[in-house]
Amino acid sequence: MKTHTLEQENQKLRMEYELVQMENESLKLEVSKYVSASQKRRGDGHDSGDFNNFTETSIDAEGKVTGLLGSLSVPFLLNHEIQSREDRMKTYFRNMLSELQVEKEELKSKTEHYVKECEMLRLRFEELERDKQADARALDDKHNTISRLEEELHSTSHNYEEQMCVLTEHVAGLNEQLARQHDQIDHLKHQLATKRK
C-alpha cells in the first residue's frame, strides 16, 4: 500500500516537474516575443537609407538587445536567472526523487523480507495442516476401533448371557434329577429296611 502511494507521489512530482519545464519554456517564449516586438517597433520607426542596417540586431548572453539605435534591456527574467531558477528546480526535484528512490528501496527490501516470512509461515501452516489431517485420520481410526470393540463386547456379553441362561437351566434340571434320584434312593433304603424286619 505504501509503495503504491510512493509511486503515485513520484508520478505526481514528475508531472509537476514537466509543468515547471513547460512554464520555463513559456517564459523563454515571452522573452523572445518581447525582443522581437521591440525590434519590430524600432524597425518601423525608420524606413529608409542607412536605417536598413537595423536588421543587424544582436542579443548578448544577458538578454541585452543591441541595434542601430542603441541597446535595450529586457524587463523580464534574464537568461542566467531563468537558468538559475531552472537549476534550483531541477536540484529540488532530483533530491526529492532520490529520497523517494531510497525510501522505495527500503520498502522493497522490507517487502521482500515480508514475502519470505509469509512464505515460511505458509509452509509451516501447510505442515501443521498435514499433521492435523493425519491426527484426524488417526483419531477416526481409534474411534472406529473403539466402536468395533464395543460391538464385539456387546455381542460377547450377549452370548455369555445366553450361555449362562442355558447353563442355569441345565444345572436346575440336574438338581431336579439329583433330587429325584435322592428321593428314590431314600425310598429304596426304606423298603429294604422294612423287608429286613
Residue 64 phi, psi dihedral angles, 5° rounding: -85, 125
Compute the average pLDDT of residues 49-76.
Answer: 50
Residue 153 lies in a domain: no
The domain in which residue 66 lies consists of 2-114
- Say if residue 126 is exposed, middle or buried (CB neighbours under 10 Å; 0-12, 13-18, 19+): exposed
What the block records as the C-alpha cell of 146 is 473403539
More confident residue, 39 or 78: 39
Residue 197 lies in a domain: no
Residue 124 lies in a domain: no
Residue 180 lies in a domain: no
Compute the average pLDDT of residues 152-161.
Answer: 93
Residue 127 lies in a domain: no
More confident residue, 5 or 61: 5
Q: What is the pTM of this model?
A: 0.40
Q: Roughly how many angstroms between the first and final C-alpha of the chain, as a whole number?
A: 128
- Say if residue 63 is exposed, middle or buried (CB neighbours under 10 Å; 0-12, 13-18, 19+): buried
Residue 59 lies in a domain: yes
Compute the average pLDDT of residues 128-149.
Answer: 96
Residue 145 lies in a domain: no
pLDDT single digits (tens) 113-122: 999 999 999 9
Q: Residue 190 has what pLDDT? A: 84
Total domains in the fold of the chain: 1
Q: Residue 71 has what pLDDT? A: 54
Strand 70-73's sheet: what is its strand order? 58-59, 64-67, 70-73
Residue 38 near residue 20, CB atoms below 8 Å: no
